[in-house]
Amino acid sequence: MVAKPPRGDRDLADLAPQILPPLRRMRDVSPPKLAARMGMSTRAYQDFEKGRTGLRLDRLLLFADILELDHQAIITAFQLRRPRIALVFAHNKALLIQAAAIDECDDDALDAIAAVDPLSLLNSHMGLYEQLAERGRAQLRAAAGRRGPD
């Protein structure tokens, strides 16, 4: 695991145009319509979407709630500076499901997990994601088989 150098809020705001408009388009919502639902003028919304006004957590959460997207995936995409994370996980809510799984743990389990060293946590997660990727590949192959040859 390699730590990324700290960056300022401006660097995060620069990612907004790579993350927010594709998510909005994925839900087929126009900027004026989303602006109205967020209680903003169209101009203020466009500034938000382009990262001109900085990133406020309350606006990101509202954006995700209105579009019924995984806010965890969106925030993680900004944190890791990987816009694709938001695009591939926002609709299936994978990171929110992960958080929900943690929430299902009792206090004893939470304390035990908290005692695990970071490298072991990373290795466990990587194994889980490899298994999920293989399951996803199998489902994609099965879906392709049902469609028949192109």
Distances (CA, A) of 138 to 60, 134, 135, 146: 33, 6, 5, 12
* Whether pLDDT at 4 is above 90: no
* CATH architecture, range 9-94: Orthogonal Bundle (1.10)
Nearest of 49, 1, 59 to residue 29 by alpha carbon: 49
Q: pLDDT, tens digit, for every residue of 94-119?
A: 988 999 999 999 999 999 999 999 99
Q: How far apart are CA 55 and CA 9, in angstroms?
A: 8
Q: How many residues does the chain have?
A: 150
Q: Using 50, 70 and 90 to split pLDDT, how confident is the model at 146?
A: confident
- Helix 16-26 and helix 71-80, axial crossing angle in degrees, nearest 10: 160
Query: What angle is formed at CA 25 by the lines to CA 20 and CA 30, rounded to 5 degrees?
Result: 95
Q: How far apart are CA 70 and CA 84, in angstroms?
A: 13
Q: Using 50, 70 and 90 to split pLDDT, how confident is the model at 6?
A: very low
Does this model's pTM top 0.85? My answer is no
User: Contact at 8 Å (CB) between 62 and 38?
Assistant: yes
Q: pLDDT, tens digit, for every residue of 23-75?
A: 999 999 999 999 999 999 999 999 999 999 878 999 999 999 999 999 999 99
